[in-house]
Chain A
Amino acid sequence: MTVMSPASADLKHLYYQMLRIRRAEEAIARRYAEQQMRCPTHLCIGEEAIAVGVSAHLTVQDKVFSNHRGHGHYLAKGGDLPRLLAELYGFAEGCCGGRGGSMHLTDLEAGFVASTPIVGGTVPLAAGYAWAEKIKQKAVEGHRNVVVIFFGDGCFEEGVMHETLNFAVLKQLPLLFICENNQYSVMTALAERQPKRDIYPIAAAHGLTAVNGDGNRVDEVYELARVAVANARNGLGPQFLELHTHRWPEHCGPNEDDDLGYRSPGELAEWKLRCPLLQTRQMLLAKQLSNDTELAQMETQLAEEIEQAFEWALQGTRPTIDSMGQHLYA
């Protein structure tokens, strides 16, 4: 398909958002070795373009649901960085008060409802949220809030995925299914789990609009998401994007794991050449939309923001032992 580039200011903004996620994840990876972030942490380095390209079209009223690898989705939607870090450290100031850690994030003010780590767990919740939005907003002509669910290729194997697709189409929900196909479920390759065929036509067979694209090209993600979000807003029902990408670090934890040999030789190196940030940076420079000085300023600005976020998070307080039993019931 023809890819229309986002406006120049948008491309720079998209780059900045991706860079912010990348640098935050790298900082988490560096500090993780200090053994103070004592929770399973799934970094999204290499996959930043999808979260950023989709969220660029969302308002605060739009809602996002995510999964175990959710830092990028949370940050792209406007989730609070210091509270994310405090959550990783298990402090009361964390976005879940230390109840959830990396795999359970929320920032209701930003419209990021929740991420949870049972694969498929949040998929029907997103549809239910969209269903409620549709019921409540039926009087609003021509514009409605949308809900986005981010999930991976592994999730597409879950029954609840297809139960949700069926209902979403049945009720024509304002819902975006964003499949981040990174080809691996933990360390198990797609070829061992699914037959050799694309994912998006299976979704399309449920009766919705489904397309696929390069999840490492933020301009492509941006354009596909622009159309999908507009369709969902305008009452054309649920939309499905299968976006191809690759996770660089190990499944869970701060390290690289290419030495384990579950990826094909050279596979990771090839994907690194297709780094979403690298490609966007080249585009910005080639089109003279930015320059080395400006890009360096971005780095400085982000380094400061992330450093300050860590400083704030590290001053967090421990949840009291007495608080541990609270909030079992509302």
Chain B
Amino acid sequence: MRDLKMMTYGEAIREALDDALAQFPDMLLIGEGVPDPKTIFGTTQGLREKYGAERVLDMPLAENGMTGICIGAALAGMRPVLVHQRIDFALLSVDQLVNNAAKWHYMFDGQQKVPLVIRVIIGRGWGQGPQHSQSLQAMFAQVPGLKVVMPTTAGDAYHFMLAAIADNNPVLFIEHRWLHHIIGEVDKQAPAAGLDGAAVMREGRDVTLAAFSHMSIEALKAATTLAEHGIDAEVLDMRCVSALDIESVAASLAKTGGKLLIADCAPEMASSGHQLLSKLVLAHGDSLKQAPRLIVYPNHPVPTSHYVANHYYPGAEQIASAVLEMLGRSELTASVIGALQSDLPKDQPDRSFVGPF
């Protein structure tokens, strides 16, 4: 039986944490701000009251030490979920994540395990600036032993969070701040998710858009407007960064005539798109019939000033323009871009989002 509810991505995270705390008595939820009045943008709201201060708690500003402490607790049988409000803060914990969490099961020959979830949020807009808006997913996905996921929809956020907590390995769970307010369907009765596989967000036959996290939303926006102009784009959400689902991309390309556009919320040199392309070419060298396109951020940090930062981030307009170029339909560009343009300030995802965030 389906138990379909509409909720925001942020609410889905909260629901998943709530249900996991109920399901796993050994789960701990810890992070800077977890029980504070703002409760990590509302995603941990009410959980301390429901499950107690011993299981839902704040922490000292010691990201590396606390990561190690959570690894130690995991070795002793707990299931800690450690939250960083920005992925940038997780850089302080790279020693523990890379040297210990990712390798522990391997280096002790399978005798010990580290069931640990690190929740991190990519910031954007309202002047987040160089140290509150980095996209480090590809870097973390280069570490054998670490699972890295970036769910895009509310449904995936719910099921991936539960799957990550149930998993006996360290999982880096990356949320984009601009996904938190987006409403989607959550079916709690749906079968448990694995932490692998791409999701088909929209079926199409003219071009394959393989996108990551918030860029999947932008790709979907582009595809919706392109459809109004008779162009049928398939959108794949590459939600599992450390286990890129090349097979789904190749299957899509077989339908769309080998035309691929990748959209990633990361600077070009830090994009998982490169790995996706490389793996695709190595495994399915004949799947591409045309030079692929990569829509990514520039290779420099994002500045704080919204006057310039607004020009840093590509989105649906750039994706749609590139698709039209690939299909030789540039005559439609003005009309498509016109339809996609909005008077919403570009450092704000939605009118409901009011700074600071």
- Docked Cα-Cα span, A132 to B54, in Å, equals 11
Within the assembled complex, what's the spacing in Å between the Cα atoms of A112 and B168?
21
- Interface digits, B14-40 against A, CB 8 Å rule (1 contact, 0 not)? 000000000000001000000000000
Q: Name B147-186 residues within 8 Å CB distance of A.
A: 147, 168-169
Asked if B60 contacts A166 (CB within 8 A), the reply is: yes
A327 and B106: CB pair below 8 A?
A: yes
For the complex, is A178 an interface residue (Cβ under 8 Å from B)? no
Q: How far is the CB of A223 from chain B (nearest CB, A)?
A: 28
Q: Which one of B54, B67, B111 contacts A106 once the chains associate, using CB atoms below 8 Å?
A: B111
Question: In the complex, what distance in Å separates the CA atom of A164 from the CA atom of B60?
Answer: 10
Q: What residues of B have a CB within 8 angstroms of the CB of A97 in the complex?
A: 109-110
Closest chain A CB from B143 CB (angstroms): 11
Q: How far is the CB of A139 from chain B (nearest CB, A)?
A: 12
Q: Which of A124, A126, A159 has the most CB of B within 10 A?
A: A124
CB of A221 closer than 8 Å to a CB of B: no
In the complex, whether A114 has a CB less than 8 A from a CB of chain B is: yes
* Cβ–Cβ contact B65 & A124, under 8 A: yes
Q: Check B145–A328 contact: CB distance below 8 A.
A: yes
State whether the Cβ of A133 lies closer than 8 Å to any Cβ in chain B: yes
> CB-CB contacts of A106-119 with B at 8 A, as 1s and 0s?
10100001101010
Alpha-carbon distance A280/B64, docked complex (angstroms): 41
Closest to B109 in A: A97
A160 touches B108 (CB 8 A): no
Question: Does A123 have its Cβ within 8 Å of any Cβ on chain B?
Answer: yes
Contact A99:B107 (CB < 8 A) given known A129-B75, A163-B60? yes
Give complex CA distance A281, B64 in Å: 44
Which of B60, B69, B115 is A128 in contact with, Cβ under 8 Å? B69
A97 to B68, CA, bound (A): 24
Q: Which of B66, B99, B115 contacts A163 (CB 8 A)?
A: B66
Instruction: Give B201 Cβ to nearest chain A Cβ, in Å.
Output: 27
Q: Any chain A CB within 8 A of the CB of B77?
A: yes
Interface of A (DSSP majority class): helix
Least CB distance from A247 to B in Å reads 24
B96 contacts the other chain (Cβ, under 8 Å)?
yes
Given A125-B100, A128-B68, A160:B95 Cβ within 8 A: yes
Is B71 interfacial (CB-CB < 8 Å)?
Answer: yes
Question: Cβ of A330: which chain B residues have Cβ within 8 Å of it?
Answer: 105, 110, 113-115, 168-169
In this assembly, does A151 line the interface, its C-beta being within 8 Å of a C-beta of chain B? Answer: no
Alpha-carbon distance between A110 and B214 when the two chains are bound, in angstroms:
49
Question: Which of the residues B64, B69, B105 comes within 8 Å of A127, measured between beta carbons?
Answer: B69
Contact A99 B64 (CB under 8 A): no
Interface flags, A147-165, vs B, CB<8A=1, else 0: 0000000000001100110
CB distance from A94 to the nearest CB of B (A): 8
Residue B62 at the A interface, CB < 8 A?
Answer: yes
Nearest CB in chain B to that of A173: its residue: B69
B112 contacts A106, C-beta separation under 8 Å: yes
Nearest to B71 among chain A residues (CB) is: A125
- What total of chain B residues lie within 8 Å of the partner, measured CB to CB? 41
B75, B76, B169 pick with most chain A CB within 10 angstroms: B76
B107 touches A96 (CB 8 A): yes
Cβ-based interface call for B73 (8 A): yes
**Which of B59, B72, B106, B147 contacts A125, CB < 8 Å?**
B72
Task: Select B108's contact among A106, A123, A167, beta carbons within 8 Å.
Answer: A106
Q: Are A99 and B106 in contact (CB under 8 A)?
A: yes
Asked if B78 lies at the interface with its beta carbon under 8 angstroms from chain A, I say yes
In the assembled complex, the Cα of A98 lies from the Cα of B96 at a distance in Å of: 22
Report the minimum CB–CB distance from A283 to chain B (whole Å): 38
Give B73-109 as 1s and 0s: 1 = Cβ < 8 Å from A's Cβ atoms: 1111110000000000000000110011000111111
In contact, A127 and B111 (Cβ under 8 angstroms): no
Contact A100 B76 (CB under 8 A): no
Point out the residues of chain A lying under 8 angstroms from B76, CB to CB. Answer: 128-129, 132-133, 136
Q: A99-B107, A160-B64 are in contact. Are A329 and B145 (CB under 8 A)?
A: yes
What residues of B have a CB within 8 angstroms of the CB of A127 in the complex? Answer: 65, 68-69, 72
Question: Is A104 touching B107 in the complex (CB atoms < 8 A)?
Answer: yes
Chain B CB count within 10 A is highest, among A99, A116, A163, A326, for A163
Given contacts A114-B112, A167-B60, contact A129 B73 (CB under 8 A): yes
Check A108/B68 contact, CB under 8 A, given A163-B62, A329-B169. Answer: no
Count chain A CB atoms within 10 A of each CB in B110, B147, B168 and give the residue with the most: B110
- Report whether A100 and B108 are in contact in the complex, using a CB–CB cutoff of 8 Å: yes
Within B122-148, which residues are at the interface with A (CB < 8 Å)? 144-145, 147
Of B71, B105, B110, B147, which contacts A124 at CB under 8 A? B71
A104 to B100 Cα, complex, angstroms: 11
Roughly how many angstroms separate A106 CA and B69 CA in the complex, as a whole number?
A: 19
Taking a contact as CB atoms closer than 8 A, the residue among B64, B99, B100, B113 that contacts A159 in the complex is: B64
Task: Let me know if B70 is at the binding interface, CB within 8 A.
Answer: yes
Which residues of the partner chain A approach B114 to less than 8 Å between Cβ atoms?
A: 330
Asked if A131 is an interface residue, CB under 8 A from chain B, the answer is yes
Q: For residues 275 through 329 of chain A, which have their beta carbon under 8 Å from a beta carbon of chain B?
A: 326-329
With known contacts A124-B68, A163-B60, A328-B106, A132–B78 Cβ distance under 8 A: yes
Distance (Å) between the CB of A147 and the closest chain B CB?
8
In the docked arrangement, what's the CA distance between A122 and B95, Å? 11
> How many angstroms from the CA of A330 to the CA of B59 in the assembled complex?
28
Chain A residues whose CB sits within 8 angstroms of the CB of B72 once the complex forms = 124-132
Given contacts A116-B100, A125-B75, A327-B109, 16 further A-B contacts (CB under 8 A): A108-B111, A108-B112, A113-B75, A116-B99, A121-B68, A121-B99, A124-B67, A125-B100, A128-B75, A132-B73, A136-B77, A160-B96, A163-B64, A167-B59, A167-B62, A167-B69
Interface residues of chain A, those whose CB is within 8 Å of chain B, are 96-100, 104, 106, 108, 113-114, 116, 118, 121, 123-133, 135-136, 159-160, 163-164, 166-167, 170, 326-330
- The 10 listed contacts between A and B (C-beta, < 8 Å) are A100-B108, A100-B109, A106-B108, A114-B112, A121-B100, A124-B66, A160-B96, A163-B60, A164-B65, A329-B105
